């Protein structure tokens, strides 16, 4: 069984940190009551299991989680004003350090990663190919960020599975992702894939349109395709109703995943245990080219280090931001790999503070690895 060490048991002195944060409203600010704060989280430090029946020596110190990283994760998690989860997993040695890592948090567009894995799995089994033609129509439009929208004319827009993947992952296009989602069988197929591949701790929501409508306390209507009708209906809602709906979502996210579950999925992917090697390599190359969130986890990179990542950003109400995330594969100059997830369920901190937190997690991993 893996052993778990808290900061107190490890005898680690916690260093103070300076932190910051942010938000992005789509409606005029309103007075909002903050959700009930979660129980105080405690960091965990998990090492690879040891076979007690063998005479094998204690693992080398390099195979154990660094005490300095536990110190840093403890300080960053405890010092941030909001509900945050942090998970760092050494893919090549097997240890993990986490803060609040087992509590489900909203994923938002982080869930596009699981859709991409399902698409590549279908490609590996020759049910699809990157060149498979797809026609995207105006009825396929969703809400919020949709760079593909101006390309869709009265007769639709002809493209390919590969082009949709690139747009969904590098530009976080909601419509491209939802078209791919239904191409591989919808939310039920993603949930089945997650279970079959052993990605514990990760759920999947009902698709972009229904997720965002339910989060706002609405029921999706097909005439809202494109998003303007949804935004108007949301703006017309009483603030108290929206607050109740958002509180329900934060208490039990419809697209919830734990930070530890996300880093588990990234680790399995990096170990070629989810997809064929060629598909794994292609997926990570696409994630390396991501245009979103350059000042989140990637802001802490040092020369020679690389981050293949996927961001997520949820709805806001007044100055309360939800689902502000970044997860990814951090690779050292020597090829050593770490799965990293920072998931902010809710906060009133401004965007620079949130981005600084994420960059500080990356900096802490790099600092303890050197």
The number of folded domains in the chain is 1
The predicted pLDDT at position 370 comes to 77
What is the C-alpha to C-alpha distance for residues 324 and 105, in angstroms, rounded to an integer? 10
| Angle of the 277-288 helix axis to the 112-124 helix axis, nearest 10 | 150
SS3 296: coil
For 10-37, write each residue's pLDDT tens digit: 333 333 333 223 333 333 333 333 334 3
Residue 269 maps to a domain: yes
The pLDDT, as a whole number, for residue 13 is 32
Cα distance between residue 81 and residue 75, in whole Å:
12
221 found inside a domain: yes
- Examine residue 170 and state whether it is found in any structural domain, yes or no: yes
Model pLDDT for residues 49-97, shown as the tens digit of each residue = 333 233 333 333 467 899 999 999 999 999 999 999 999 999 999 999 9
DSSP per residue over 51-113, as a string? -TTS-PPPPPGGGSPPHHHHHHHHHHHHHSSEEEEEEEEETTT--EEEESTTS-EE-GGGGHH
Identify whether 205 is part of a domain. Answer: yes
Cα separations in angstroms, 195 against 106, 108, 191, 232: 19, 20, 6, 37
Which domain, by its residues, includes 160? Answer: 7-369
- Domain-embedded: residue 153: yes
| 39 pLDDT more than 70 | no
Report the pLDDT value the prediction gives residue 62, as an integer from 0 to 100.
60
Residue 354 lies in a domain: yes
Q: Is residue 305 part of a domain?
A: yes
| CATH code assigned at 336 | 3.40.710.10
Is residue 304 within 8 Å of residue 332, measured between CB atoms? yes
Whether the pLDDT of residue 209 is over 50: the answer is: yes
Residue 1 inside a domain? The answer is: no
State the pTM of this model. 0.85
pLDDT in tens, 258-317: 999 999 999 999 999 999 999 999 999 999 999 999 999 999 999 999 999 999 999 999
pLDDT tens across 319-363, in order? 999 999 999 999 999 999 999 999 999 999 999 999 999 999 999
């Amino acid at each position: 069984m893996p052993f778990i060490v808290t900061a107190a048991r490890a005898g680690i002195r916690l260093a103070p940190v300076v932190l910051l944060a942010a938000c992005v409203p789509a409606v005029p600010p309103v007075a909002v009551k903050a959700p009930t704060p979660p129980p105080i989280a405690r960091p965990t430090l998990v090492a690879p299991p040891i076979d007690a029946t063998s005479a094998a020596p204690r693992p080398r110190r390099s195979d154990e989680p660094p005490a300095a990283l536990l110190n840093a994760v403890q300080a960053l998690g405890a010092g941030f004003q909001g509900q945050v989860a942090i998970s760092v997993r050494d893919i090549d040695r097997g240890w993990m350090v986490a803060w609040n890592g087992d509590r489900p948090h909203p994923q938002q567009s982080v869930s596009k990663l699981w859709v991409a894995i399902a698409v590549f799995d279908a490609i590996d089994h020759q049910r699809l190919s990157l060149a498979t033609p797809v026609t995207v129509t105006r009825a396929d439009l969703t809400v919020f960020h949709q760079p593909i929208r101006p390309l869709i004319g009265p007769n639709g827009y002809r493209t390919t599975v590969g082009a949709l993947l690139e747009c969904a992952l590098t530009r976080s296009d909601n419509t491209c992702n939802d078209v791919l989602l239904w191409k591989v069988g919808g939310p039920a197929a993603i949930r089945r894939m997650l279970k079959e591949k052993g990605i514990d701790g990760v759920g999947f929501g009902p698709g972009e349109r229904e997720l965002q409508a339910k989060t706002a306390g609405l029921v999706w209507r097909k005439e809202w395709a494109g998003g303007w009708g949804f935004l108007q209906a949301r703006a017309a809602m009483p603030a108290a109703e929206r607050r109740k709906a958002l509180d329900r979502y934060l208490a039990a996210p419809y697209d919830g995943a734990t930070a530890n579950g996300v880093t588990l999925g990234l680790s399995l992917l990096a170990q070629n245990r989810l997809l064929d090697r060629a598909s794994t390599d292609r997926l990570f190359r696409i994630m390396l080219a991501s245009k979103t969130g350059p000042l989140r986890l990637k802001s802490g990179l040092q020369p020679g280090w690389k981050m293949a990542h996927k961001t997520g950003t949820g709805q806001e109400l007044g100055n309360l931001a939800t689902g502000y995330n970044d997860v990814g594969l951090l690779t050292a100059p020597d090829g050593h790999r770490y799965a990293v997830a920072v998931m902010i369920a809710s906060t009133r901190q401004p965007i620079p503070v949130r981005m600084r937190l994420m960059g500080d997690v990356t900096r802490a991993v790099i600092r303890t690895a050197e």
